Chain A
Amino acid sequence: MQTVKMVITGPFSSGKTEFIRSISEIEVVSTERDITTPAEQVKDQTTVAMDFGRITVDDDLVLYLFGTPGQRRFDFMWEILAEGMLGFVVMVDSSKPETFREAKSILETFRAYAPTPYVVAANKQDHPDAWSPEDLRIALRIEDGVKLLPCVALDKESVKTVLLELLYSILEEMEL
């Protein structure tokens, strides 16, 4: 049995857990805890270690999706999760410009962990305050060669598109 993994990362409350939930064939294993600080009370619980989803391809191949904890105090987990990843998705909450700097910082951190392909998902595009992917590219200073994709993590088709684009990038890398 061969297993491969992808990492879904991004700032706190950017939609990582929803993203994995939308596509995983198993109930996502989340190690969530109640929020303790007022700053984080935009939702009731937060992922403290990781989310874990699975997509079985056949008897010999399984894809695992790992979501990183969004809060900086758990960033010691990031490098462990990044080990051996096939590629990674950086989730950005397009409606919260106050998190863009953090998203860029996380992106750079993961790029330093491993030279694997990645895509940026401009999540919450259905939100009225969402910045467009074109504006996000400039705001986050994402190079033209990097895919920045509109995303709604609660929509399975949208999640599929993001994962497929990442896989196409991985294929392109192999062909270089």
Chain B
Amino acid sequence: MALKGNLRNFSTTQLLNLINLARKTGMLMIYEGIPTGEEDALGEPKYTPGKQRAAVAFKNGKLIYAEMGTQDGNLASVLHKAGKLNDRQAQVIRERASLTSDKALALLLIQANYVTQADIVASVQQHTLDIVYDLLTWADGPFAFNDGELPGDDRITVPIDLENVIIEGSRRIKELETLNDELPNLDFALKFPEDPGDKFKGIHLSVEEWRVVSFVNPKNSIRQIAKANNMNDTEIRRIVYGLLQAGLVELVKPPGMEEKARQAAGARSRKDAPQIKKTVVNKLIDRIKTL
């Protein structure tokens, strides 16, 4: 089933969240948009995919690989950028091993004691993260998720949990407007998910995030948590948005608000709702079945 759209309607953070929750395997492609001259359902200009800007691969919901259209992503460049190879070494390797796959090159470099396996893993991981953090800030562009597609066997892949990536990505979302859209009501409270599983295992939260987490309780509104932590609306929104996107907390109406809503809805429903009996619903079911 197609998973296509435009980042302006469905952000990279939301896509990562979806891929994480659905434990998807495949390649997320982001393209330059070529205007079609048409408009979408919201009246915005419609774009068709053009040149590839980035490709990010996932396996069972984990980030494993990323490449940026404009960057040289071979292993020599990655290790050079990470400071594991000097200019001279990087140049020699590029010249002499241009036809060698990344995996084969990694083995050669380890055997030659240029780098360790840990150096390679850390460098590739950082390279992947740098690309993903960069594209998290992209606000526009056609995307498509190609189910089941993975990078070639010659590529080095390193599995990275998406929760931390999403949290860090959310830290980088600076637009107050977006945050306001996603979290318009600070009178909602937060709770931990019913089945957090091992979501909290290995999570790296900032001091501010821990302070917010320590106040998570269906009785505390987000506004109250912000006040207790001396945070302004933007700061609390940014932190809560990150925690929500990573699935570490859920929004819940605080008891007072729930009761008010119930009273309002109850008053209306007592006044307006038809007195329906089960037999009526069963009659409707039987009738629709025969249509």
Contact = CB atoms under 8 A, between A and B. Distances in A.
Interface of A: 2-4, 11-13, 23, 37-42, 55-58, 61, 63, 83-84, 86, 93, 95-102, 112-116, 128-132, 134-135, 138-139, 156, 160, 163-164, 167-168, 170-171, 174-175
B43 A131 contact: no
Interface of B: 1-6, 8-10, 14, 17-18, 21-22, 39-44, 181, 261-262, 265-266, 268-269, 272-274, 276, 278, 280-285, 287-289, 291
A131 B2 contact: yes
Contacts of B14: 139
Nearest to A168: B285
A57 B283 CA distance: 7
Contacts, number: 129
A42 B41 contact: yes
A93 B41 CA distance: 10
Contacts of B288: 23, 55, 160, 163-164, 167
A31 B284 CA distance: 26
A98 B41 contact: yes
Contacts of B42: 39, 98-99, 102
A-B CB proximity, top 5 nearest: A39-B43, A97-B5, A132-B1, A98-B9, A84-B272
A40 B273 CA distance: 34
18 contacts: A3-B274, A38-B43, A39-B41, A55-B287, A61-B280, A83-B268, A86-B276, A97-B4, A97-B5, A100-B10, A102-B42, A114-B272, A115-B269, A131-B3, A138-B18, A138-B21, A160-B289, A170-B281
A167 B2 contact: no
A167 B261 CA distance: 24
B3 A115 contact: no
Nearest to B181: A101
A12 B41 contact: yes
Contacts of B272: 83-84, 114
B1 A130 contact: yes
Contact of B41 (A11, A58, A113, A170): A11
Contacts of A139: 10, 14, 18
Given A164-B285, A174-B278, A114 B269 contact: yes
Contact of B284 (A38, A116, A167): A167
A175 B282 CA distance: 13
A168 B22 CA distance: 27
Contacts of A156: 291
